[in-house]
Each structure stands twice: as C-alpha cells, then as structure tokens.
Chains A and B, each alone.
Chain A
Amino acid sequence: MCLAVPGKVVEITGDGELRMGRVDFSGVTRQACLAYVPEVRVGDYVLVHVGFALSRIDEQTAMETLAALAEIDALDPATEGES
C-alpha cells in the first residue's frame, strides 16, 4: 500500500490545493495531485503514491548515493582489475 513510484512531471495546472500535473512513468502518463510539492517544476522527478506526489526526488543527493555505491563496488576485491 505504501508503494510509491518515481515519475517525471511533464505538465502542471492549477495551484494551491488544486495543483495537479501530468506525470510520465516511463511512457505511461497519469494525473497526479501536486499540492504537496509546491517546489516542483516541469522536468522534476517526484514520488507518486495513490495519485499524490509526496516528495521531489533530489537529483544531487541521488548522484551522491550512486557515487557512494560505485565506490563500494570499486573497492570490492571481486571487481578489482576490471574496467
């Protein structure tokens, strides 16, 4: 039930409580309420749960997380010597 899926905001209409948007989930586009993410702009990624965007995915933080994971991989003895 707490499933939330990341998607890209492609259109925003209305404002305040009625702020809605179209969100693209890898080619499938759905309406979502954007009232809870007033900072979100077209092109941002949001996490959508039962038709509501609950948070904006922070690109900078995502990059840092992925860099940390890449570092674990790079230091892993099993992958040393590759690439």
Chain B
Amino acid sequence: MRHVDEYRDAQRVAAVVRRIRETARRRWALMEVCGGQTHSILKFGMDELLPETVELIHGPGCPVCVTPLELIDRAIAIASRPEVTFCSFGDMLRVPGSDDDLLKVKARGGDVRIVYSPLDALRIARQQPDRKVVFFAVGFETTAPANAMAVHRAKAEGLSNFSVLVAHVLVPPALEALLGCEDARIDGLLAPGHVCTVTGYRDYEALAARHRIPIVVTGFEPLDLLSGILAAVTQLERGEARVENEYARAVTRDGNPGARAMVEDVFVVSDRTWRGLGPIPRSGYALAPRYAGFDAEQVFDVGAIAVREPEECRAGLVLQGRLRPTDCPAFGTRCTPEHPLGATMVSTEGACAAYFHYRRAPRAVAS
C-alpha cells in the first residue's frame, strides 16, 4: 500500500536503529502517547530492536481504556432499554462494566450494533424513525471532527431520534497531568500523529517549553516511529527541548482548520474523569448548550450509577506508564482478552492487549 510500505523497509529500519544506537550515549525514557503506536511498536518488535539506552514507556492514549466505568455502566443501562438502538465502535463492546458489558446486552436481545463511522449511526436513525438511536461518542481529538459532524448533521436534518453519549478526551491536559507528577520519569514524548492531523501541534510547543522536554510528532509505521525516536534522542543528547514534526506528510502546525471549526461549533471543553488517571480539569469535550437535545445523558434518565472497579485490575498504573503489562500478577492468567479484568486487555489500543497479542505473555514452559 502506497504511503505505508515505504515506511516498513527492513534495511532502512536497521540503519535508523543503528543511528539511534550511536546517538543515545545516556539512558533515555520516551513515552509514546498513542495506543495505536504502542500496538505498532509491539507488532513490529521495535521495542526489541532498540538499544538498551532507549526505553519506551506506553502512554494513556487509548480512549476506550480511559472511559470511566460510570460512563460504561451508563451506556449499558441506556443500551438495555427496549426502544434504543445503541451504536458503538467495536472496541467498546467488550469493555467490562461493573456487572456486564455491551456484548452481553446484545446477547440478551438488546439492539447493540457495531458501526465503522458515526455517519452509519446517523443513517440508521434516518432509516428507523421509530427507534431511538444512540451513538457512543468515544475518542480523542482525532475522532471529534467525525462525531461533531454527525451531531451537526442530525440538528440540520431535524433528526430528533438521534443522540450521543459523549466520552471525549483531550491529549495535552493528560500529558500535563502526567508530566506534572513529581516522580515522572519521562525524558521525551512521541506526540500522537493522528491527533495532530486535526489539532496541529501548537499546544505541544507550550508543553515542551513548560516541562523542558522534547516532543516529536510521530506517525505509526516502523520508520515513522524510529524517526520520531531518533529525533527525540538527538534533542536529548544535545540538551534541546522543542517540538519537531516527523510526520510532516500528514501533519501541519495548525492542523485541519475546517475540522477544528466543526469541533468548536458542536463541543465545549469540559472537565473529565479518566479511568486510571482520575479527574483532570478541562481534559475533554461535552456538547455545546445549543446541542443539548442530542445529549443521551439528558435524553435518558437512568438514575444514579454505583460503580465497582475490579480490585485486582491494575490498568490505572499501566495507563500512567508506571507498570509494564507483563509485570501485573493477573496478566495472561486471570486476565486475558477472553476474560478481561480491565479495558486495557480488550481494546485494540490497550497496552495489555498489545503485550498479549504480540507474544509478550510470560508463559510457563512445561518441562
């Protein structure tokens, strides 16, 4: 595939790895923020190619994983109502709630559907005016323009049977929270390339200056990731701390103005609680007041929700980059993709799922 295969060339990968090895004279810990990048790193075995001087710490960039349990339980309660057709990206269906998950609601006869795009949910709402169609609007800045467009179109078309359950989160405030911890051991950041296609990277310039760390906008293919790592290590060795763009074929400093304008029309910045990280001020989106009629939390009164986090799950530490998935006592035994304790084991961007799928499971060898 064009614009993919060129960035997987084995000989060039080896050359860039050697360049990183020559450049990194001290030990550096880099956090790749996005869960998609974590999966690429594990899938292509890049963590094993890198020299010992470069450690990759996996960040909280998995929207499914950081959606608070209270909101998952709320989604389950709404999806269980007989008049509701509940649409979601597939990842969300197996995330464990306090008692259930969305897939079990579907198994019990609930109308729960996996959609590829929020526009699919909008189409269902048009086709079935007698159903109340709810879309689980989960995601980072990358997904916000798509979800915003769906709400904007619903209003423009007067679709009164469509609403969204909003669980939108923003990357820079979470990074601010992580970097602000006294014991943070992050020397450099690989910023999430696809988030930056929308937002650009001006916000990251402020972050780099405030915390004096290099931040490199990075793509998802092996050579993209290695270029990002090389740029970050080069800056660290020179004592620099600025934003660099190593995903320039897709990202500009200002991002996508049309997409940002739509997001600003439909959403307002709000406080959000992140599963595993806790409450972070101004770290997410809520619907703007003029779109309140499309807010599923207001359309459906499901009452108070009491949540129960599984005691054994240590996903919070994994999401903060403080625990490697394979160091969790439950990893691969009492917690697997078939029987997950937490969202990081089921999401396609969860670090635990990446370690499980790409062979990092510490397996007992029968002798």
Q: Once the chains bind, are B139 and A1 in contact (CB under 8 Å)?
A: yes
Interchain nearest-CB distance for B276 vs A (Å): 16
Q: Which of B243-251, B290-298, B333-341 contacts A (4 or more CB under 8 A)?
A: B243-251
Q: Once the chains bind, are A52 and B248 in contact (CB under 8 Å)?
A: no
Q: Once the chains bind, are B14 and A78 in contact (CB under 8 Å)?
A: yes
Residues of A within 8 A of B152 (CB): 17
Which listed residue, A3, A17, A47, A79, touches B11 by the CB 8 Å rule? A79
Interchain nearest-CB distance for A69 vs B (Å): 5
Q: In whole angstroms, how far apart are the Cα atoms of A43 and B233 in the complex?
A: 37
Interchain nearest-CB distance for A68 vs B (Å): 8
Q: Which of B104-112, B141-149, B158-166, B300-308 contacts A (4 or more CB under 8 A)?
A: B141-149
Q: Once the chains bind, are B116 and A6 in contact (CB under 8 Å)?
A: no
A58 and B249 contact, Cβ closer than 8 Å, known pairs A17-B153, A73-B11: yes
Interface residues in B, total, Cβ within 8 A: 57
Taking CB atoms and an 8 Å cut-off, the chain B residues in 30-65 that contact chain A are 34-36, 61-64
Q: Chain A: which residue is nearest B249 at the CB level?
A: A62
Is B26's beta carbon under 8 Å from chain A? no
Interface residues in A, total, Cβ within 8 A: 38
Q: Chain B: which residue is nearest A39 at the CB level?
A: B258
Q: Chain A: which residue is nearest B34 at the CB level?
A: A2
Q: Once the chains bind, are B259 and A2 in contact (CB under 8 Å)?
A: no
Which listed residue, B138, B140, B192, B256, touches A36 by the CB 8 Å rule? B256
Is B359's beta carbon under 8 Å from chain A? no
Q: Which residue of A1, A50, A78, A79 has the most chain B CB atoms within 10 A of its CB atom?
A: A1
Is B194's beta carbon under 8 Å from chain A? yes
Taking CB atoms and an 8 Å cut-off, the chain A residues in 24-62 that contact chain B are 25-26, 33, 35-38, 45, 47, 49-52, 54-55, 57-59, 61-62
Q: Once the chains bind, are B146 and A52 in contact (CB under 8 Å)?
A: yes
Q: Once the chains bind, are A61 and B249 in contact (CB under 8 Å)?
A: yes
A78 and B248 contact, Cβ closer than 8 Å, known pairs A1-B142, A55-B256: no
Interchain nearest-CB distance for A26 vs B (Å): 5
Residues of B within 8 A of A70 (CB): 12
A69 and B153 contact, Cβ closer than 8 Å, known pairs A4-B194, A61-B248: no
Which listed residue, A1, A54, A62, touches B91 by the CB 8 Å rule? A1
Is B184's beta carbon under 8 Å from chain A? no
Q: Once the chains bind, are A47 and B349 in contact (CB under 8 Å)?
A: no
Residues of A within 8 A of B198 (CB): 54
Q: In whole angstroms, how far apart are the Cα atoms of A17 and B151 in the complex?
A: 12
Residues of A within 8 A of B218 (CB): none
Residues of B within 8 A of A26 (CB): 1-2
Q: Once the chains bind, are B12 and A72 in contact (CB under 8 Å)?
A: yes
Is B283's beta carbon under 8 Å from chain A? no
Q: Ordered nearest first, which 9 A-B pairs have the shortest CB separation?
A: A51-B117, A76-B15, A62-B249, A6-B3, A73-B15, A2-B142, A36-B259, A2-B194, A55-B197
Q: In the complex, given contacts A1-B36, A1-B143, A8-B2, what are 17 additional A-B residue pairs having Cβ atoms less than 8 angstroms apart?
A: A1-B63, A1-B64, A2-B35, A2-B140, A2-B349, A4-B142, A4-B197, A49-B143, A49-B194, A51-B118, A51-B119, A55-B197, A61-B249, A70-B12, A72-B15, A76-B14, A78-B14
